[in-house]
Amino acid sequence: MNFTTSGLCFAGLISMIDPPRASVPDAVMKCRTAGIRVIMVTGDHPITAKAIAANVGIITEGSETVEDIALRLRIPVEQVNKR
């Protein structure tokens, strides 16, 4: 390591949020009503992604994400829904 690992002092913590636009839940509902299957692709952490998807109506209680399916089947995420 090129930096010291002792004598350090915690200076603080930063948090930020990038919320979805207010129009997203309505757009999701309109898509579903039209028969369009809505999916979300994100680089967010799976827990964050699941919370956002639930908040905008993409998933509901009991819905499985790709990560949930991989965990249940004990396979890598890349093998879920492989095309």
Flag whether the pTM goes above 0.75: no
Q: What is the mean pLDDT of residues 13-20?
A: 90
Per DSSP, helices labelled H in the chain are 24-33, 46-55, 66-73
* Structure-token match 């990038």, residue found: 18
Q: For residues 83 and 70, which has the higher predicted lDDT (pLDDT)?
A: 70
Q: How confident is the model at residue 83 (pLDDT cuts 50, 70, 90)?
A: low
* Structure-token match 């390591």, residue found: 1
Say which amino acid occupies 5: T
Sequence-distant (≥ 6) Cβ neighbours of residue 24 within 8 angstroms = 56
